[in-house]
Chains A and B, each alone.
Chain A
Amino acid sequence: MTTKVFGEPVRRREDARLITGKGRYLDDIGSTATLAAAFVRSPHAHARILDIDVTGALDVEGLVAIYTYEDLTGPLAEPLPVLIPHPQLTAPRTGFPLANGEVNHVGEPVVMVVATDRYLAEDAAERILVTYEELPPVVGVDAAREARHAVHAEIPDNVAARHHQETGDVEPALAAAKNTLSFTQYIERSACMPMEGKGVHARWDAADSSLRVYTSTQASTSVRAAIAAKLELSLDKVEVIAPDVGGGFGVKIVHPWPEELLVPMAAIALQAEVKWAEDRREHFVSSAHERQQRQEITVGYDDEGRITALDVHIWHDNGAYTPYGIIVPIVTATQLVGPYVIPVYRVIVESVFTNTVIVTPYRGAGRPQGCFAMERTMDRIADALGLDRAVVRERNLIQPDQFPYDHHLTFQDGRPVIYDSGDYPGLMAKLKKLVGWEEAEQLRADAGARGRMLGVGMALYVEGTGPGPYEGGHVQVLGSGKVLVSTGLTSQGQGHETAFAQIVATELGVPIEDIEVTTGDTRRFGYAVGTFASRAAVMSGNAIALAARGVRAKALRIAADVLEVDPGDLEIDEGVVQVKGTPGASIPLRTVAVLSNPLRYAFDEAARQATQFAGPADDTRPPVAEGDAPGLEHVDYYSPVRSTFASGAHAAIVEIDPATWEIDVVKYAVVHDCGNIVNPMIVEGQVQGGVAQGVGGALYERMAYDSAGQLQNASFMDFLMPYSSEIPDVVIDHQETPSPLNPLGLKGAGEAGVIPGTAAIASAIEDAVGRRITAMPISPTQLYDLMRDQDTERTAAAARRAGTGAMA
C-alpha cells in the first residue's frame, strides 16, 4: 500500500535532489549574461548623508548603472510599507529602498551598483564615496529606553508602540496576593541565519511587457503584489517564483526587501536580467535579527505556588524600523502565559527603536522570550517556596477538562487566544519520565564525584500555530495518471513536497509516486499568504486535503456514470476507482480524468477516448454539464476561525566544569504535541532543528554590537552558530491531541523546538551553580564573571542544599 500514507514516516522526496547538489537556488538562476547588483551600505549606525560621489566608480570596466535615492520615482521613492499595521503601533517607521538623507543602522542600503558581474559591481561600489555626518547612535534596549538620544528625531522617546493587554485589575490582585516577587531579566539578539541568504533575480520581457522575478522568499504571492504596486505594473504582468530556498526561519517572510524592488526596477530600466545574491556579511547587517528584550516581572502567588496575578513590562528592541509591525511584541505578550492558568494578567510591551538591524520574526517569533519570562517566574516561585519546580508548574497547569480555554487575550492574527485542545499534565508526566526528573539528585551527586556541577531545568510552552487568513490548494489528475498539486505558500526545506503528497495520496487514494507538488510559484497558484507561524501543514495541508476531497467527489461522480452505479458504492485505491466488493468493476482514475474533459481533437491515444465519436453519448445533455467544469481538478481553501495551539515540554541536563566554566548540555528531552502528525520523521526533524537553534540561542549566539552600533561578529567565524558537535542528542516523545478546528486535526510543528531552549537551559545552569541567571545567552566567560562576583544572587535552593538556608 502506498496510498494510505498519512501519519507514516515517509522519506522526504525532496532530499535526494537537495543533498546531491541538484537543488535550484537563487544564485543558480541566470546566465553569464546576467548583470549583478551590489550595494554600498552605511558604515555608520546613525548618520546624515551629506554627499554621494560616484565619479571614482565611473571608469570601472563593466559598470552598467548606479542608483541612489534620487533615481527612485513614484511609489518607489516612498518609504517601504508598514506590512502589518496595528492601532497600537502609533509611531511606525520604515526605511526607503535606498537611504533618503539619513541612515539608521550599519548596513542600510545607500547606493545600488549594477555591473557585468558581482566582482566588478563590488569594485565599483568600493569606489563610491559617501560623506556622512555622524549622529549619536542608540544601541541596545536600555539605551533606547533611557532615550538620551533619539533614533528618529521626531520620536524623542524611541517608542514605536506600546502594546498593552490585561485580563483583569492586576494591581489589587497583586496587593491581595499572599506572596509576591519582582525581577528583571534580559534576553539577547540572535538571528535566523539561513544557509542561503536572500537573493533576487529579475527578468523583463520587453516585447510582452512582463516581469518574472525569482526571490528567496517565504511569501511569493505578496512579493508579487508589492512589486506590482511599487513598480506600477499590472498584477497579471508580474510573476514571482520562490525557487529552492536554503532556509528561511522567518527572515524571508519580510517583504518587500529593498532589493526585491530595486533589482526588478533595474531589470526593467536596463532591459536585462539582473541578479543580487546576498553575501553573508550583508545578511548580518542588512537582513533582520530578533529576541532582545528587557523584562520586568511581578508575580503574586499563594503558599502552594499557584499564581494569582502576573504583571509583565517588557521593553522590546525593534531595531531601526518597524516594517513587520508589532507581531513579535504581540506574540511575546500573548504566548507568555503558556500552559498555565493566570487569573489576572497584565502585559505591556514597549517596542523601541535602536540604531541596529531591524527586528522581525525569527523561528519562535517572540515566544522564546515569553517562555523565558513565564518559566523563569515558575523557577523563582519554586525557589522561594522551596518546592520542586515541576510541582509548581503542575499546580498551575490548565487541566484537560478546561478546553477550549479562553485566555481573554488577542493574538497576533487579531483573533482571541482560545486554546483549542491540549493535555498539559500529560506532557509533564511524559517529560519527567523521559528526562529522569526524579533521579536528578542522584545525577547531581554522581557528577559531583567526577568534579562536575550538574543541573536540570525544564520549560513548557504553548504555541499558537496555523494563523489565517487562508491558504489554498489545487489538485488535478491528468490523463497520464499524474496528480499535480500546488499551493501558494512557499517551502524552505521543511519537507512540504512530501507532507502534502502524503495528504493527497491518502485523501485521493493514489500512489504517492504519482503526485507532483509545487509550492510558492504564482504562475501555479495566485492566492496565498506565506510560510510562517508554523502554518504550512495546518493551512495548506488542510486546503490541499479539501481540494483532494473535491477531486475525489468529482471522480466518483464521473465513474459512477460510466460504471452505472451509485457514487456511494465506489472507492478509490491505488489510483483505480472500483465498485466496493465487486472485483473487475473498475475504471482507472486516469481514464476518469480523460473523460472529465470532453475533446474534439485526439492529439494522443488517451485523448482519443474523450473525443465526440469515441463512445455512446446522451444527445440531450451538453458535453459539460451545467455548473460543471472540464478537467478532473479542484481548488479549495482553508480559512480557520482562529489559530490552533500546539504545546510541548522540554528539559535539559547540563554539566559545568567548575575550573573552566564550560557548559555541556548532556541530555535534552522533548515531549511534543502538534495534534495529528502527517509525518513523524519530518516532525522529529523539525524538533531537532529547533532544539539546535534553541541551544544556539541559549549558549552560543548573540549579536555583539559595540556602543557605536558596529556589529563586531558579522561572520560565521565570530557569530557562534553551533555546529552539530555542540548540539546534544535529543530524546523525543510525542503526544497527539488533535485540533478540533481543522479537517485533518493538525497543529503546527515548525517553530516548537526552539521555544523553550533558553528557559530550560537557564534553569538547568542556575540549578547547577546555585547562582541566579538573569540574562541569556550565557557563555563560559560570562558564567565565570557571574560566579566570582560577590553580588551575584545565590538561589535559595543552593543555600538549602548547602544546609545554610532555612527559608522553606
Chain B
Amino acid sequence: MKPSAFRYADPRSLEEALEVLSAEGEGAKVLAGGQSLLPLLSMRLAAPATLVDINRVPGLDAVETGEGGVRVGALVRHARLLEDAAAARVQPLLARATANVAHPAIRNRGTTVGSIAHADPSGEMTSVLALTGGSVTVATPAGVETVGWQDLFVGPLETSVHGPAVVTSAFFPALPARSGTAFAEIARRKGDYAVCGAGVVVTLDEDRRVSAARAAYISVGLVPEVHDLTEAVAGQPVDTADWAGAGALARTLVDPDADIHASADYRRLLVGVLTERTLIEAAAEAAGRTAA
C-alpha cells in the first residue's frame, strides 16, 4: 500500500498551476485535501504521473457569504465551513451536511470543493450542491467558467471537468424565503460513508401551505439527483401535510444499488424513512421562518 512514483508540483499561483497541468496533460491530478486521492494512490487504484498540489495557491481559502449564497473556495476545509456561522445562516444545509462528513481528522484536512470534484455518490457535498441548485467555478487556460451541478456530475467519481482545469470554488445559493432544510444520514458506524442519507428543502407559501418539497440522497444512485416530492404535499397546511406520503413517493423515485452493507430494498426503505423524518424537521424550520 505504497503509491507508485509520481512527480509533484506545488505551484504558487493559479496561472502556474494551470501551466503545470497543461504541460503534464492527462496524467496530472490536482491535490487539495487529499483525503480521497491519497488512499487511492496508496492502494494503487490510481497512479497519476503528477500531483499538482494547490495548497500554496493564494486566494482559494475563503468562504464568501452574501445575500445570494455562499461561495466556498477550493482550499476551504470541511471543518472551516462547519464552523462558519454566516454561511450557516444563509444556507443552513452546509453546516448540517458537513457535520456528517467523516470524522474530525478528515474534516480538518479534506476540502468541500475537493469532495465535490471527486464526485463520489457517497459524498455529502455533491448532493448538497445539487439540492441547492449550486454550481462550481472552473479555471482553465482559456479562462474561467461556471458549471451548473446538472452539467457537472457525469458518473461515479466522474465529472465533466477535463483537461487542464482547477475547480476554484463552489457556489451554494441561499435558502429561499419561507423555506427550511434538514439533513440526516444512517451509517453503520458513526462517521462512515452513509448507507443512506437525505437532504431536503421545504418551501411554504404565505399561507403556510407547502409549495415545494425537494430531496437529494447520499449513496443512492450513481450521480446526485434532486427529487421533487411536492406533488405529495402540495398546498397542504404545514402542520398536517402528508410527509409520510412524500416519503412513500420518494421510495418510488429512487433506484438504489446493493452493496455489502445494504440491499437495494433496504436503501429504498431508508429513503422513505429519512425523507419523512427530514421533511418534518425542515417543515418546522420553514414554518418558523414564515410569518403566521
Contact = CB atoms under 8 A, between A and B. Distances in A.
A123 B190 contact: no
A715 B40 CA distance: 12
Contacts of A718: 260-261
Interface string A239-281: 0000000000000000000000000000000000000000111
Contacts of A779: 188, 261
B56 interface: no
A61 to B, nearest CB: 9
A620 interface: no
B189 to A, nearest CB: 5
A75 B1 CA distance: 31
A700 B186 CA distance: 14
A720 B188 contact: yes
Interface string A369-388: 00000000000000000000
Contacts of B270: 660
A722 interface: yes
Interface in A631-688: 659-662
Contacts of B189: 700, 720, 722-723, 725-726
A723 B191 contact: yes
A712 interface: yes
Contacts, number: 65
A781 B269 CA distance: 10
A123 B4 contact: yes
B1 A785 contact: no
Contacts of B263: 781, 784-785
Contacts of A722: 189
B190 A122 contact: no
Centre residue among A704, A712, A784, A785 by max chain B CB count within 10 A:
A784
A780 interface: yes
B44 A122 contact: yes
B269 A119 contact: no
B260 A713 contact: yes
Contacts of A281: 1, 43
Nearest to B276: A659
B273 interface: yes
B33 to A, nearest CB: 17
A726 B187 CA distance: 11
Contacts of A549: none
Contacts of A86: none
A28 interface: no
Contact of A723 (B1, B2, B190): B190
A712 B261 CA distance: 11
B236 to A, nearest CB: 22
Interface string B187-203: 01111110100000000
Centre residue among A279, A660, A723, A784 by max chain B CB count within 10 A:
A660
A227 to B, nearest CB: 27
A-B pairs with lowest CB-CB distance, top 3: A725-B190, A781-B266, A279-B1
Given A123-B4, A123-B5, A722-B189, 9 more contacts: A119-B2, A119-B5, A126-B44, A659-B273, A660-B273, A700-B189, A712-B260, A717-B193, A718-B261
Interface of B: 1-5, 43-44, 186, 188-193, 195, 260-263, 265-266, 269-270, 273
24 contacts: A118-B2, A119-B2, A119-B3, A122-B2, A122-B4, A126-B4, A281-B1, A281-B43, A659-B273, A660-B186, A660-B269, A662-B186, A700-B188, A700-B189, A715-B43, A718-B260, A718-B261, A720-B189, A723-B190, A725-B191, A726-B190, A780-B195, A781-B262, A781-B266
